[in-house]
């Protein structure tokens, strides 16, 4: 074994374990959303779902703390803050999401579709529709094949009274 190869193998193993943990957390979170929380189809209680979201948030907070330039983790963290805001009604999570997305854009200011699209969504949730419109347009310019940006664009246009443009955005939908 060459010098340094052991460290690389250990590092690769940690990376694989990290991705395995993420996959399990995503699977649990997606299964939790399969049923209605009001009916018998619910797989997790709302408190268990929030606990899962909180644990995943802590995981990604540690990731960005360990690697402040990890724009992918900032994007995922923002997504989780948005999810928790929806789960709990705590509007401060939208502000946390916005800060995470702005950090992501510091490290990848160009071609960062996820940050631009999610930031458009956060602006829409905060009723900052002009900002939402601009960020949605930026996301679409980065990747016009993704439908999400068109949806947020259409929502912002509806809120701003631009009904014909919203109709066009919804019909383009990636």
**For the domain bounded by 18-29+46-108, which CATH number is listed?**
1.25.40
d(CA 52, CA 106): 28
**In the prediction, which pLDDT does 56 show?**
97
> Is there a contact between 64 and 56 (Cβ–Cβ < 8 Å)?
no
Q: Higher pLDDT residue, 174 or 33?
A: 174
**In the prediction, which pLDDT does 5 show?**
45
pLDDT 10s digits, 95-108: 999 999 999 999 99
Residue intervals of the chain classified under CATH 1.25.40.10 are: 110-174
pLDDT 10s digits, 11-49: 556 665 565 556 555 555 544 443 334 444 445 678 889
Phi-psi region of 63 (alpha: psi -120 to 50; beta: other; left: phi over 0): alpha
> Is there a contact between 60 and 29 (Cβ–Cβ < 8 Å)?
no
* 157: pLDDT strictly greater than 80: yes
* pTM to 2 decimal places: 0.73
CATH superfamily, with its number, for domain 110-174: Tetratricopeptide repeat domain (1.25.40.10)
């Amino acid at each position: 074994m060459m010098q340094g190869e052991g460290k690389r193998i250990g590092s690769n193993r940690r990376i694989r374990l990290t991705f395995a943990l993420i996959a399990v957390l995503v699977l649990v979170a997606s299964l939790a959303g399969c049923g209605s929380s009001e009916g018998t189809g619910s797989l997790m209680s709302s408190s268990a779902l929030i606990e899962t979201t909180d644990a995943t948030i802590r995981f990604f907070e540690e990731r960005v703390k360990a690697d402040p330039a990890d724009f992918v983790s900032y994007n995922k963290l923002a997504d989780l803050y948005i999810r928790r805001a929806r789960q709990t009604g705590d509007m401060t999570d939208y502000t946390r999401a916005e800060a995470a997305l702005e950090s992501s854009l510091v490290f990848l200011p160009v071609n960062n579709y996820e940050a631009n699209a999610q930031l458009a969504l956060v602006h829409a949730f905060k009723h900052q529709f002009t900002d939402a419109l601009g960020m949605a347009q930026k996301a679409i310019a980065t990747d016009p094949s993704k439908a999400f940006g068109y949806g947020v664009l259409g929502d912002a246009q509806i809120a701003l009274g631009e009904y014909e443009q919203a109709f066009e955005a919804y019909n383009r939908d990636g």
